[in-house]
């Protein structure tokens, strides 16, 4: 005998299938046979908005009035409609011009806060070097931040157009390549970075002015990330170090008794270990 529940179920089910019963229908959404075309001015307007967002990012560090998600969707739409190559090319050109101008500005003299003051020549030179290295460190910090923002906007382009194309570099890689190329092309700026850094280290060794080790670490970290540390700095650093200690050792060997000379040498070794741990590349530490 069927249970009360089963009887009730059959009764209810039969009522549903009686006169006037309408069965549920599945809704199937079919894709468009042909992808809808964007408006005629879609590409021009979209590229302009993307260009403005990049310009604002390079200038201020954020995309401006538009949100990152909005710009991401715009880039995505451009890529879906086969405009990836145009988007990448425009971005490359825009970033190249900005980076070249930024590096060129580093070559301009920067004496704010120093000109007109009665300071010793060596102190003035030290302050000028510090100001210059601070500007370099800011350029690097801004570069890293700005390209992190830019990559978030162009992530769809990076993954679907750049990554499968072996002749192209990722968005972040493109930024590093452009900065490296610009610095190596502007030999004056690169030489100034090297000379200012070496001068700060030498003044620190001579105990005439303590070095800002955090600042030097940022500048040398930039050279390492750009893969120009060895060519731009390492050789000059080794030569400078050798020259400094050869000169000092010859002078002190004449003036100091042997116990004091050995004590001074041990102190110098400890100082150099501290410098190595802060801003010297691993390649030199093993030498």
Structural domain includes residue 55: yes
Range(s) of the domain holding residue 254:
40-110+119-278
Tens digits of per-residue pLDDT, 261-274?
A: 899 999 999 888 88
Rg (CA), the chain: 32
Given CA atoms 272, 276, 279, 281 in this order, what sign does their dihedral have? positive
Distance between CA atoms of 257 and 255, rounded to whole angstroms? 7
* Domains identified in the chain, total number: 1
Please provide the average confidence, as pLDDT, over all residues in the chain: 85
Residue 22's pLDDT band, with cuts at 50, 70 and 90, is: low
Give, in order, the Cα–Cα distances in Å from 14 to each of 2, 19, 20, 26: 16, 10, 12, 22
Higher pLDDT, 177 or 43: 177
In a domain, 62, yes or no: yes
> Is the pLDDT score of 26 beyond 90?
no
Q: Three-state SS for 185?
A: helix
Note if the pTM is more than 0.75.
Answer: yes
Instruction: Give me the DSSP letters along 204-215.
Output: HHTTSS---HHH
In a domain, 16, yes or no: no
Pull the structure tokens for residue 255.
């003036």
Q: What is the pLDDT, as a whole number, of residue 272?
A: 84
Pick from 80, 81, 82, 84: which is nearest to 92 by CA? 84
What tokens appear for 145 in the block?
């931040």
Token digits of residue 162: 């750049």
Residue 30 included in any domain? no
Q: List pLDDT tens digits, range 68-123.
A: 999 999 999 999 999 999 999 999 999 999 999 999 999 887 655 554 554 445 55
Q: Is residue 18 part of a domain?
A: no
The answer for residues whose C-beta is within 8 angstroms of residue 102's C-beta and 6 or more apart is 139, 182
Nearby residues of 194 by Cβ (< 8 Å), 6 or more positions away? 232, 233, 236
Alpha-carbon span 91 to 154, nearest angstrom: 9
- 125 located within any domain: yes
Q: Which of 165, 163, 167, 146 is nearest to 155 (CA)?
A: 163
pLDDT in tens, 161-207: 999 999 999 999 999 999 999 999 999 999 999 999 999 999 999 88
pLDDT of residue 284: 55
Domain CATH for 64: 1.20.1310.10
Which residue, chain included where needed, has tokens 């090319």? 89
228: in domain: yes
- Confirm if 200 and 192 have CB atoms less than 8 A apart: no
Q: What residues contact 48, with CB distance under 8 A and at least 6 apart?
A: none
Confidence of residue 231 (pLDDT cuts 50, 70, 90): very high
For residue 118, the model assigns a pLDDT of 47
pLDDT score of 9: 43
Q: How many CB atoms lie within 10 A of CB 24?
A: 5
Q: Would residue 195 count as lying in a domain?
A: yes
DSSP string, 63-115: -TTS-HHHHHHHHHHHHHTT-HHHHHHHHHHHHHHHHHHHHHHHTS---TTTT
């Amino acid at each position: 005998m069927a249970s009360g529940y089963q009887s009730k179920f059959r009764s209810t089910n039969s009522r549903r299938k009686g006169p006037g019963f309408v069965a549920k229908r599945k809704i199937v959404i079919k894709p468009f046979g042909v992808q809808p075309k964007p408006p005629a001015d879609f590409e021009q307007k979209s590229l302009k908005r993307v260009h403005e967002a990049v310009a604002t990012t390079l200038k201020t560090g954020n995309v401006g009035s538009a949100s990152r998600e909005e710009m991401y969707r715009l880039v995505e739409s451009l890529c879906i409609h086969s405009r990836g190559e145009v988007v990448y090319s425009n971005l490359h050109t825009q970033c190249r011009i900005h980076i070249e101008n930024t590096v060129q500005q580093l070559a301009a003299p920067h004496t704010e806060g120093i000109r007109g003051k009665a300071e010793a020549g060596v102190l003035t030179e030290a302050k000028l070097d510090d100001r210059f290295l601070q500007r370099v460190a800011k350029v690097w910090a801004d570069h890293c931040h700005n390209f992190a923002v830019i990559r978030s906007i162009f992530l769809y382009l990076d993954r679907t157009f750049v990554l499968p194309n072996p002749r192209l570099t990722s968005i972040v890689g493109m930024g590093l390549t452009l900065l490296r190329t610009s610095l190596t092309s502007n030999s004056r700026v690169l030489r100034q970075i090297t000379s200012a850094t070496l001068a700060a280290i030498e003044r620190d060794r001579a105990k005439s002015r303590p070095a800002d080790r955090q600042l030097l670490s940022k500048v040398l970290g930039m050279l390492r990330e750009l893969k120009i540390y060895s060519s731009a700095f390492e050789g000059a650093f080794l030569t400078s170090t050798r020259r400094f200690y050869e000169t000092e050792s010859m002078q002190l060997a004449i003036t100091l008794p042997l116990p004091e000379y050995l004590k001074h040498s041990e102190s110098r070794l400890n100082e150099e270990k501290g410098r190595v741990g802060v801003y010297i590349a691993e390649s030199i530490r093993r030498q």
